[in-house]
Structure 1
Amino acid sequence: MMKKIDTLLFDLDGTLINTIDLIVASFLHTMETYYPGEYCREDVIHFIGPPLSETFTKLDPSKVEDMTRTYRAFNHEKHDELVEEYEGVRETLEILHENGFKMAVVTTKRRETAVKGLKLLEMEKFFPVVVSLDDVTNYKPDPEPLEKALNGLNSSAEKAVMVGDSEHDILGGKNTGTQTAGVAWSVKGREHLESYKPDVMLDHMPDLLDFLGIKNSVKQN
């Protein structure tokens, strides 16, 4: 018998906050700087998920630092202009918070940028624990960041769900022993995420309340 879920681990980009336009624009700006005319939106969507170092190393190991600097400068400059909220996310977090759920963010972003996004959309109060790229040696799908978040919340894998928009989140949850929830608004598409067999697919974030057996009072348009 699985223990009652009382802990939720969330990916950040593309799950809690809509940074997709920002990320795509940042990659396109970087690619245009180093590989003019070679990349379009469809190409760079595949870059979303892993840390920048992994993506840029595959392109050219000698330019990783330069490309990362270019990406981050653009990303930082355009952040507040291009980041948006997903419908129903904050209301769902509020209900989960009121119901006493322990919650953490597990992201492959640097802490500074992750916190910037949470503060912009006034979500930081829900997350006493944020595990960022700066805090770990190994990143999702390795269990290290999820285990660090669980330890920070004084919880365990069998009481937790990992919620995310990429295969790294679903596989990270499976490797850690949590349940997993995929979000259908993933930029990689619902079918792509379903192929990794999450325990549940969420069409909207309030669906998480239904999955957890909590009264869902969030109004959907």
Structure 2
Amino acid sequence: MKKIECVIFDLDGTLLDSKECSVKATKAAFTEMGLKVPSEVVIEHYMGIPIEKSFLKMSEQPLDQEIAAELIRIFRAYYQTYEESTLKVFPEIPHILESLNKRKVPCFVVSSKKTAVVKRNLAALDLVDFFEEIIGSDAVSHYKPHPEGINQLVTQYQFDPTETIMVGDAIFDIQMGKAAGVKTIAVTWGSHNAKKLSSEKPDAVAETPQEILDYIYA
């Protein structure tokens, strides 16, 4: 069995199925602002990075600071409206977290969402108690794929990066993990497919949540 000191998870597309919520909220916000609405494919591609960056990339027209801020505000309002009826936990995820907790492997979340929103989403789905700490986009100066979020945890808890695992569904998660020098597991049930994820050369590709444990305890 490998010696693993901790497992760091991405949130959206990894632990939670938030695609419907993100797509609906994004389309509603762009519509309300009178902007051309990005396609579902484009929205899904950028789900792994904070909306402060992704909306600038999604928009076909340049967004000044004021318009971007208002677009983000409207999106967050729609997201909170839709989240209760659309956010779901991916099957098997609670079992994976329970197993890691029973083995006393500390678990963390590094997300592109604000920390308070991550906690709200996890609490609503009875997952928040599985995690030692949550690092949201407001807790770092540099967003994914910059490794700051992982580096914070490794430094604070004195983990060995080579015995730390980053689990995520987007290429940005794998890029972040590699930049931090930790092991990476790409999961295929989120925003990016196996081919796109494999191009980043993760240490493992998991087709099901159980395969996360299979890799850790091989």
TM exceeds 0.5? yes
> Which residue does 1:206 correspond to in 2?
210
Rounded Cα–Cα distance in structure 1 between residues aligned with 2:83 and 2:207: 26
| 1:9 is aligned to 2:8 | yes
The CA deviation at 1:168 is 1.0
Rounded Cα–Cα distance in structure 2 between residues aligned with 1:206 and 1:46: 25
Matched positions, count: 212
> Which residue does 1:217 correspond to in 2?
none
Question: What is the TM-score normalised by the length of structure 2?
Answer: 0.91
> Which residue does 1:71 correspond to in 2?
75
The CA deviation at 1:36 is 5.5
Contact 1:11 1:163 survives alignment (8 Å): yes
CA deviation string 1:28-54 (max 9, x = no partner): 111222346643322322331111111
| 1:89 is aligned to 2:93 | yes
Question: What is the TM-score normalised by the length of structure 1?
Answer: 0.90
CA deviation string 1:59-103 (max 9, x = no partner): 312411110011000001111111001010000110110001011
> Which residue does 2:22 correspond to in 1?
23
> Which residue does 1:137 correspond to in 2?
141
> Which residue does 1:53 correspond to in 2?
52
Comparing 146-155 with 102-111, greater Cα deviation is found at: 146-155
Contact 1:166 1:188 survives alignment (8 Å): yes
Judging changes above 3 Å, is the alpha-carbon distance between structure 1 residues 38 and 108 closer, same or farther for their aligned structure 2 residues?
closer
What secondary structure sits across from 1:48 in the alignment? helix
Rounded Cα–Cα distance in structure 1 between residues aligned with 2:50 and 2:110: 13
| 1:121 is aligned to 2:125 | yes
Rounded Cα–Cα distance in structure 1 between residues aligned with 2:93 and 2:156: 23
Matches within 5 A, 1:89-108: 89-108=93-112
Contact 1:130 1:149 survives alignment (8 Å): no
Rounded Cα–Cα distance in structure 2 between residues aligned with 1:173 and 1:44: 23
Letter in structure 1 aligned against 2:64 = P
Contact 2:167 2:185 survives alignment (8 Å): yes
Judging changes above 3 Å, is the alpha-carbon distance between structure 1 residues 37 and 133 closer, same or farther for their aligned structure 2 residues?
closer
What secondary structure sits across from 2:201 in the alignment? coil
**Runs (5+) with no aligned partner, structure 1:** 215-221
The CA deviation at 1:143 is 1.4
Rounded Cα–Cα distance in structure 2 between residues aligned with 1:196 and 1:35: 36
Contact 2:15 2:90 survives alignment (8 Å): yes
What secondary structure sits across from 2:189 in the alignment? coil
Rounded Cα–Cα distance in structure 2 between residues aligned with 1:134 and 1:36: 26
